[in-house]
Structure 1
């Protein structure tokens, strides 16, 4: 479905919290229409800015522990982590220019 790598409760710490560069986690679910709409946009951003930011996906239904830990109550929710900390939150599906504007500090 997506070019973005999937992470799970089990792999979250290794893949996200220990990442060398900024990493955006797309919290999503298969039944979520807006999540499916934003997925190809995130794939495109990941391709175009692979040297600056990584993008991974976490299915909130399959990985409730991590979703609960970060207080995910609305999806899609895209959190940017840097040095193991949440440094940016983007809630809801947005067009590519709006997402790139939200991520400008990480894409520069």
Structure 2
């Protein structure tokens, strides 16, 4: 099972901005029913792509600063980072 790193304000720079290669970032909240329904799919996707892509998650309730900085307006949301730069938002 692939490890999905929990990203916080404290480790955002090292986990994402200074990360090399691709990182899929999952933005969620524990009260969000669609987010909870996607949890297994996110883990399965992380398992499938773990050889080429890291997976991380951000709890939007705990880390509003990240949400604001990355311009996340709805959840669940997925963001692809490439060498520390946002490549796409889904």
**TM-score by shorter chain over 0.5:** yes
More strand by share: 2
Q: Which contiguous aligned blocks of 4+ residues in structure 1 show a shift greater than 4 angstroms? A: none
**CA positional deviation for 1:28:** 0.6
Q: How does 1:41-56 map to 2 (within 5 A)?
A: 41-56=41-56
Q: Structure 1 residue 5 and structure 2 residue 5: aligned?
A: yes
**Number of matched residues?**
88
Q: 1:18 corresponds to which residue?
A: 18
TM-score, normalised with respect to structure 1: 0.77
TM-score (norm 2): 0.91
**Please, which runs of 5 or more residues in structure 2 have no aligned partner?**
none
Q: What's the Cα RMSD here? A: 1.1
Between the aligned partners of 2:60 and 2:18, the Cα distance in structure 1 is 20
Q: Which secondary structure state, in structure 1, belongs to the residue aligned with residue 37 of structure 2?
A: helix
Unaligned runs of 5+ in 1: 91-108
- What per-residue deviation string (whole Å, max 9, x for no partner) do you get for residues 52-107 of structure 1? 111111001100111011111100111000011111111xxxxxxxxxxxxxxxxx
Select the structure with the greater relative contact order (CA < 8 A; seq sep ≥ 6). Answer: 2
